């Protein structure tokens, strides 16, 4: 961690909801924030001036640069992030249910295509107001939730979340949601089945072996994954959810949907996703070797700690 943080903006108050989080992460990581605005070629001069005014009014004491370019927001965000070497994108999302149904939000599109992690902020931070030079204040990352379904893809988010928790001094929650169908397949009606619950929590504790040096806890909850994750995030006053996404698009996304996108729409807090489009043959070989050991998740976590967030 420590590279530039890209914050796409159209200079509206809603798009600036992402700034408190970007500036807090920049402080924790000792990194720079890069504001990016995309406009039609004819509107560039006006957009540049609007950007300068926004910085003078709200962000004059913040460590950031700004770039204004002629491009569509989605592809432009991806291109600028790659060109500028950004290792995190933090952006607001304001898609309506109708626009999301028709074409999805720009934030969700970026989430599926960006090579680096993407944090999406849907709700304004209640602890700050968009007033002069106050945007960078008020963010506290005290609780970070990582959903785990015991697949290598979901576990790949843990090392990133652990490092972020260390930097922020946050408590980490590893949460497994056991859906109704899974409960029926296991032959138990609910989580009062003591042996079932103990086994699931044991597996979560094995995954948590990489959480040394931070406070953390494991939790098993009942219900469909996206709904259960959002419910627990609300109940536990979680400040950030960190999870992986497959980056599906087109017909695959329409048919299968995305748990990460559903969580994003329902969660009471920002969601940071790490895109994992495919897991390489090498990683599968490593996982196969680990699963042959007596404590498979210990081996898996040790190896995933060295694997980048995006596994091409």
pLDDT tens, position by position, 244-270: 986 555 444 443 347 888 898 889 999
What integer pLDDT is reported at residue 256 of this predicted model? 37
State both tokens at 7. Answer: 């914050």
Q: Is the model's pTM score more than 0.85?
A: no
Does residue 130 sit within a domain?
Answer: no
* Average pLDDT, rounded, for the chain: 76
Q: Please say if the pLDDT value at position 138 is more than 50.
A: yes
Q: Indicate which CATH number applies to the domain containing 181.
A: 3.40.50.620
Q: Tell me: the pLDDT tens digits for 197-232?
A: 788 889 999 999 888 889 999 999 888 888 999 999
Domain range for residue 250?
143-304
Tell me how far CA of residue 265 lies from CA of 19, 76, 94, in angstroms.
Answer: 19, 23, 10
pLDDT for 254 equals 40
Same domain, residue pair 116 and 150:
no
Whether residues 217 and 294 fall in one domain: yes
Of 2, 18, 256, give the one whose Cα is nearest residue 118.
Answer: 18
C-alpha–C-alpha distance, residues 125 and 137, integer Å: 10
Say whether both 152 and 286 belong to one domain: yes
Number of domains the chain contains: 2
Tally DSSP H helices, then E strands, for the chain: 14, 10
* Confidence class for position 17, pLDDT limits 50, 70, 90: confident
Per-residue pLDDT at 290 exceeds 90: no
């Amino acid at each position: 961690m420590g590279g530039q943080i890209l914050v796409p903006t159209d200079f509206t108050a809603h798009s600036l909801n992402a700034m408190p989080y970007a500036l807090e992460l920049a402080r924790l990581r000792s990194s720079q924030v890069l504001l990016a605005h995309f406009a039609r070629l004819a509107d560039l001069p006006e957009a540049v001036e609007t950007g300068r005014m926004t910085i003078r009014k709200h962000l004059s004491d913040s460590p950031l640069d700004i770039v204004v370019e002629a491009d569509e927001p989605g592809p432009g965000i991806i291109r600028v992030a790659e060109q500028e070497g950004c290792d995190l994108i933090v952006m607001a999302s304001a898609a309506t249910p109708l626009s999301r149904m028709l074409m999805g939000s720009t934030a969700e599109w970026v989430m599926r295509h960006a090579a680096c992690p993407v944090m999406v902020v849907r709700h304004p931070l209640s602890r700050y107001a968009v007033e002069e030079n106050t945007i960078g204040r008020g963010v506290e990352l005290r609780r970070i939730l990582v959903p785990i379904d015991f697949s290598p893809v979901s576990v790949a988010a843990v090392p990133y979340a652990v490092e972020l928790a260390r930097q922020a001094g946050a408590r980490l929650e590893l949460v497994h949601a056991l859906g109704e169908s899974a409960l029926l397949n296991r032959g138990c009606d609910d989580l009062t089945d003591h042996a079932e619950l103990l086994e699931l929590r044991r597996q979560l504790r094995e995954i948590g072996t990489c959480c040394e040096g931070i406070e953390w806890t494991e939790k098993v909850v009942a219900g469909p994954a996206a709904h259960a994750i959002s419910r627990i995030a609300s109940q536990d006053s979680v400040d950030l959810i960190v999870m992986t996404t497959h980056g599906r698009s087109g017909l695959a996304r329409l048919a299968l949907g995305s748990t990460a996108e559903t969580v994003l729409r329902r969660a009471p807090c920002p969601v940071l996703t790490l895109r994992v489009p495919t897991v390489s043959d090498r990683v599968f070989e490593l996982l196969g070797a680990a699963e042959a050991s007596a404590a498979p998740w210990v081996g898996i976590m040790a190896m995933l700690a060295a694997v980048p967030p995006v596994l091409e």
